[in-house]
Amino acid sequence: MTEPVRTAFAELHHGDEPLLLPNAWDHASARALAGQGFRAIGTTSLGVAAAAGLPDGTPAGRDETLRLALALGSEPYLLSVDAEDGYSEDPDEVGEFARQLAAVGAVGVNLEDRLGAPALHAAKIAAVKSAAPDLFVNARTDTYWLGDGEGTMARLDAYRQAGADGVFVPGLTDRAAIAALVRQLDVPLNILYTPAGPTVPDLAGLGVRRVSLGSLLYRRALGAALEAVVEIGQGRTPRGAVPSYGAVDALSRRGDLTHDAGP
């Protein structure tokens, strides 16, 4: 078992409050979130893929993910990339992809097992740690996302032994099960926030150290757009906050985000 990394991003998992990690899907959404004071920004594979007209969960998203990391990795916030399953079944290829992400500025990566063979996922994690030792590896198991939770701790043990710096269990919302998992782990536990599950303060009280939003913000943005066009068509003024033209345009460059250049 390797020692967890102690980078600035890793330290965010050991603060007084859990790391609330919002997930962006493009340059503008990432800069807008950073403008709200978030020190670290994640990406969402669904949002990145859908915005590019690609299906989620396929190797087709690899190049788009790397392209976005190249655009975001030089920004002043800390970037963690959702790399799905590494876009390959070959651990060496996954390690090389992680090396490329680190080279353009990413400080963390999510790797999901999709309920595949734990030994293969562990090999991918080990390859990533070998290729990019300072990259924070958040090892995700889909035992609750795709299954009934069986085998969760055995998988997490294997991933920790392979070098994972943190573990991610999306789909787990039961408070007692979350607290029990925290007690068994020696690395930070990441939980996916869902409106029907525990609140962020609740998760903090259970010992969760990282809370991700996944594709929620991207889906909410699409939902708001659809609501707005219906309201406009029915003669009503759309509700909700609307950034100005200038504020959005300013997201494409460094500097004041309040500049308004026109409608």
Question: Can you tell me which residue has the tokens 């490329």?
Answer: 100
Indicate the pLDDT class of residue 258, thresholds 50, 70 and 90: very low
pLDDT recorded at residue 244: 93
Q: How far apart are CA 137 and CA 194, in angstroms?
A: 23
Compute the chain's Rg from CA coordinates.
Answer: 19
H-assigned helices in the chain: 8-11, 27-35, 45-51, 61-72, 91-103, 118-131, 152-161, 175-184, 200-206, 216-233, 245-250
Cα 125 to Cα 15, 26, 139, 188, 199, distances in angstroms: 25, 26, 8, 16, 30
Quick check: 263 pLDDT over 70?
A: no
Q: Look at the chain and count its residues.
A: 263
Indicate the pLDDT class of residue 153, thresholds 50, 70 and 90: very high
- Which run of H or of E encompasses 112? strand 108-112
Nearest to 103 by CA among 127, 79, 137: 79
Q: In 217-228, which positions are buried (b, 16+ CB within 10 angstroms) versus exposed (e)? A: bbeeeeeeeeeb
Indicate the pLDDT class of residue 156, thresholds 50, 70 and 90: very high
pLDDT recorded at residue 224: 96
Model confidence over 52-61: pLDDT tens digits?
Answer: 999 999 999 9
| Complete domains list, the chain, with CATH | 8-252 (3.20.20.60)
pLDDT recorded at residue 145: 97
DSSP for residue 39: S
Q: What single-letter amino acid sits at 16? A: D
Quick check: 197 pLDDT over 80?
A: yes
Model confidence over 69-110: pLDDT tens digits?
Answer: 999 999 999 999 999 999 999 999 999 999 999 999 999 999
Quick check: 254 pLDDT over 90?
A: no
pLDDT recorded at residue 5: 77
* Average pLDDT along the chain: 94
Q: How far apart are CA 75 and CA 228, in angstroms?
A: 31
Q: pTM, whole model, 2 decimals? A: 0.92
Cα 149 to Cα 34, 131, 198, distances in angstroms: 34, 31, 18
Indicate the pLDDT class of residue 176, thresholds 50, 70 and 90: very high
